[in-house]
């Protein structure tokens, strides 16, 4: 609410005491320029902060906050990692073993390169963006809504996925092909993720990668995501036979794009503020 004193100042600002009507017009335009400049500043900052918060929320729901890889032939151990977090009193939301691989999804309409995430049903249930897991059993797959729409895939359709592992045939070595039944779809809220990833049961993923241990990792989600870099350094110091990355490392492209956008917005807002400042000086001069 505008107070009576503020309203009086506005009226005195617009209604110049000088009788020149041209000066009154200048006063009005100066007032409008200041108002638009301030309003633009507030709106743009609100939109930018809201977009940043919404994007981070979507990314943090889909992506693990800390990813653990084994160096060499060392076995990944969830109990050891859990013990570390308990000793440091770091609250863990979920910790699970997953398989991440690449494949080529082949459908009647088109083909698409995809990222394959092998994960057990009970672990996938912990993800907030997964709404339905009925039918997520051996030989099934859950795909993103954007990918399903592009390729014309619906529930219970069968899809073929080609792996990078070659098999010997009478015609030479060919990519190995796997057939899966679409159990359901998911929507993470980020179209790029919904277009590029699919989920399959963990044991099916083991068969897909032919037990390649280099593609097995541990995904960890924690409550305090702002200190993941600090936790990463402590983990790396404690477990030298493991290699750690964070959600920040894996989404650097998003952060670079946001930085460029914020810099451009800063330049535009600076120009608006300069114009508003000139209007203020002009208005004070003619009053």
> Sorting pLDDT into bands at 50, 70 and 90, what band is 22?
low
Q: pLDDT digit string (tens) for 79-109?
A: 899 999 999 899 999 899 999 999 999 887 8
What separation in angstroms does the CA of 234 have from each of 132, 238, 241?
A: 37, 6, 13
The most confident of 12-16, 239-243, 264-268, by mean pLDDT? 239-243
Instruction: Give the global pTM.
Output: 0.74
Q: Show me where the domains of the chain are located.
A: 61-250
| Range in 31-35, 75-79, 234-238 with the lowest mean pLDDT | 31-35
23 pLDDT higher than 60: yes
Distance CA 130, CA 187 (A): 7
Taking each helix axis from N to C terminus, what angle separates 4-14 and 21-62, rounded to the nearest 10 degrees?
130
Confidence (pLDDT) at 182: 92
Show Cβ contacts of residue 173 under 8 Å, excluding neighbours closer than 6 positions.
Answer: 166, 167
Identify the pLDDT of residue 131.
77
Token pair of 85 as six digits: 């977090």
**Percent of the chain, pLDDT > 70?**
85
Q: What is the pLDDT of residue 161?
A: 92
Q: Write out pLDDT tens, residues 208-225.
A: 988 788 889 999 999 988
């Amino acid at each position: 609410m505008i107070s009576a004193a503020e309203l009086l100042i506005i009226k005195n600002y617009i209604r110049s005491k000088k009788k020149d009507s041209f000066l009154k017009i200048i006063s009005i335009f100066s007032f409008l320029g200041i108002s638009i400049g301030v309003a633009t500043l507030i709106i743009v900052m609100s939109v930018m902060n809201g977009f940043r918060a919404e994007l981070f929320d979507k990314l943090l729901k889909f992506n693990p906050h800390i990813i653990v890889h084994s160096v060499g032939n060392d076995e990944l151990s969830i109990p050891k990692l859990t013990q570390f977090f308990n000793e440091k009193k770091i609250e863990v939301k979920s910790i699970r073993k997953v398989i991440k691989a690449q494949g080529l999804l082949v459908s009647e309409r088109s083909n698409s390169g995809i990222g394959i995430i092998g994960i057990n049903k009970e672990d996938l249930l912990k993800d907030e963006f997964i709404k339905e897991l009925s039918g997520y059993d051996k030989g099934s797959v859950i795909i993103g809504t954007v990918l399903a729409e592009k390729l014309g895939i619906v529930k219970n359709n069968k899809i073929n996925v080609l792996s990078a592992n070659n098999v010997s045939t009478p015609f030479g070595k060919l990519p190995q092909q796997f057939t899966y039944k679409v159990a359901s779809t998911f929507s993470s809220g980020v179209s790029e993720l919904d277009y590029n990833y699919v989920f399959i049961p963990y044991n099916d993923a083991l068969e897909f990668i032919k037990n390649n241990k280099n593609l097995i990792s541990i995904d960890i989600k924690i409550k305090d995501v702002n200190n993941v870099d600090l936790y990463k350094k402590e983990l790396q110091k404690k477990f030298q036979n493991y290699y750690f990355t964070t959600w920040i490392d894996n989404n650097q492209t998003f952060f670079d794009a946001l930085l460029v956008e914020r810099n451009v917005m800063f330049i535009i807002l600076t120009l608006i503020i300069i114009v508003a400042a000139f209007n203020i000086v002009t208005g004070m001069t003619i009053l």
